[in-house]
Structure 1
């Protein structure tokens, strides 16, 4: 509100004090509103950021926990493993493995990345044990007795077993070793697909899919080999060496175990096709553990061992 005072020719305009106060109050209201809006915006930003951080953290922890749980889920508890080994080693069979040898293979199985591909030559008293220890992997058994293989599969449907016809004889050991040396650059190459090979000592009648798998562990505990006309394990050991060297992927090295290593056929064949430089350990001459590395076509694919051959005498 304004008052006009007429003082001669001069007009004096007076502003009432409450008008000035009203203008200051308006500016104060706007200032308070601006501060309030800024405070609310800051609070909302803080809440959103906190929730996002919490969600991200929970998701990360959940992911790590799930991964750890999945990894642990693929490994049998140590107590279960020990129990299986104990009862397998104390069976009443006269040809079972010792607990020391079983544990050596079991330790490697426990360290094998899942899923683990495990190839076993021979259906033995430990067959159910090997399949159980590799419960999240693939375990395949090869045996020379088609009737026993069919019986095992019928009685234990969880077992994957195939029969194969061996054409070798223990009495032919020297001849077979010589033939491999002569054909090492042709049919008996260390790196090849045996499905298409005519190497006399190689196994080329396994199911086709088995030649395509990258085997992590191979155990040679068959066929039978304790009389001159028996098939012996020359072919199984040779085939294991070729499969290990011919891998296309997976781990670079394959664990190859040979049971009954004290016998001549097993020892000579292993030194010839698995090689001394790859020997990790031998247990009282009963179980030999080799680690054979895959070889590329550009690598040393025409020689089994770096060292000289061991004469089969």
Structure 2
């Protein structure tokens, strides 16, 4: 914009210089007549002065002969300059109008609330996903309950899912107006899913826990509940053994509305288990800085002893709003940064936090 203004100013100055130059030439022509009678008389006077004294110098004045057509060229140049100036002004005005229109349209789109996916479409997706030939898929009852939670989530909804499963595309589709992030233990499978489905946002994480170490890990959290394993903290800088701190930095700045724990694997002693996923979900929910103060945390395979015990310790029974055969639904609220206990009515956690 500044370069265009300088260019326009230069053109105007150039036109002014040409105009004054032409005017000066025209005035000089009037001051010095070019008729032959005037020239002969003028030369005779000079010769007479030369005869009076030898010291007198002969001065010859050649009248300014204006070239024909200079005035026409000036006006042609002025006309071209005027057209150039008009073109530049039109270009600037059109560009600013387009920018203003784009900003207005973007503001309108942003301010307009996007409705959630219709119930009919959601039910159809759940129906076909639950009737798959895959034997590892989630039950229709569990899918339906999670779909209902996503339907009620304010848009845009931030959904965090631990585990890449048969239902991955279902969760992505149900939350199509919001952001859905998947965390998986297998980096090769995460890369495969992202390559096959570019719209899916997936990250891999390395779990350092073992299912057989559940009791020791929970005891370690109780010992460090006022330090590294606080219920309210930024896990990016945490050294708690159950906390996940090697995810992208932006991950810890998102206010998650719904968190689904459906991974990692936990069916044999050497498997990582879901202790870290459940603990991380509890800290993320309590450490929210904005958005809805409540976070829905859903734990699949809630019937497994390890998952239920870990949920009781960090998600807490007083926050359990729905319990089905294989799904536990908790609603956690944002907590104060000076809170040092996960559950209000948990005797063991409360006692350890007060010591």
Instruction: Check whether TM > 0.5.
Output: yes
The question of whether the paired residues in 2 share the 8 Å contact of 1:268 and 1:310 is answered with no
Residue 305 in structure 1 maps to residue 343 in structure 2: yes
Is the aligned partner of 1:288 residue 2:328?
yes
Answer whether contact 2:295 2:331 (CA < 8 A) is retained.
Answer: yes
Measure how far apart 1:75 and its partner are: 1.4
Is 1:116 the counterpart of 2:157 in the alignment?
yes
Match of 1:93 among 134, 139, 146: 134
1:267 maps to 308
C-alpha RMSD of matched pairs (Å): 1.6
Distance (Å, rounded) in 1 between the aligned partners of 2:248 and 2:146 = 25
The answer to whether the Cα contact below 8 Å between 1:118 and 1:217 also exists between their aligned partners in 2 is yes
| Residue-by-residue CA offset, 1:168-201 (whole Å, 9 max, x unaligned) | 0000000001000000000000000000000011
CA distance in 2, matches of 1:172, 1:257: 23
Paired position in structure 1 for 2:207: 166
Displaced runs of 4+ in structure 1, greater than 2 A?
308-311
Does the 8 Å contact 1:121/1:142 carry over to 2? yes
| Alignment deviations for residues 132-180 of structure 1 (CA, whole Å, 9 cap, x no partner) | 0000100000000000000000000010000000000000000001000
2:166 aligns with 125
Higher helix share: 2
Once the 2 structures are TM-superposed, how far is the Cα of residue 74 of structure 1 from its aligned partner? 2.6
Cα-to-partner distance string for 1:26-61 (whole Å, 9 max, x where unaligned): xxxxxxxxxxxxxxxxxxxxxxxxxxxxxxxxxxxx
TM-score of the superposed pair, with normalisation by structure 2: 0.66
Corresponding residue for residue 180 of structure 2: 139
Deviates more, 1:73-82 or 1:180-189: 73-82
Q: 1:310 to 1:225 in 2, by over 3 A?
A: farther
**Are residues 245 and 118 of structure 1, via their aligned partners in 2, closer, same or farther at CA, if it must alter by over 3 Å?**
same
Gaps of 5+ in 1: 1-65
Alignment of 1:72-91 (within 5 A): 73-91=114-132
CA drift at 1:308: 2.2
Contact map agreement 1:259 1:287 (CA 8 A) in 2? yes
What residue is the counterpart of 2:145 in the other structure?
A: 104
Q: 2:297 aligns with which of 256, 260, 272?
A: 256
Alignment CA distance shift 1:254-1:198 (3 Å): same
- Structure 2: which 5+ runs fail to align? 1-107, 350-355
> Given the superposition, is the C-alpha separation of residues 309 and 236 from structure 1 closer, same or farther in structure 2, using an over 3 Å criterion?
farther
Q: State the alpha-carbon separation in 1 of the partners of residues 288 and 186 from structure 2.
A: 28
Which residue matches 1:187?
228
Say whether residues 1:155 and 2:193 are aligned partners: no
Counterpart of 1:200 in structure 2 is: 241
Of 319, 323, 339, 1:278 maps to: 319
Shift of 1:309: 4.8
Which of these two proteins has the greater Rg computed from alpha carbons? 2
Tell me which moved more, 187-196 or 289-298. 289-298
Partners of 2:271 and 2:209 lie apart in 1 by 8
Instruction: Give the alignment of 1:9-20 within 5 angstroms.
Output: none
CA–CA distance in structure 2, aligned partners of residues 282 and 206 of structure 1: 30
User: How many angstroms apart in 1 are the aligned matches of 2:217 and 2:298?
Assistant: 21
Contact conserved, 1:194 with 1:204, CA < 8 A, in 2?
A: yes
Number of aligned positions between the proteins: 241
Find the aligned partners of 1:96 and 1:118 in 2 and give their Cα distance. 19
Deviation of 1:95 (Å): 1.4
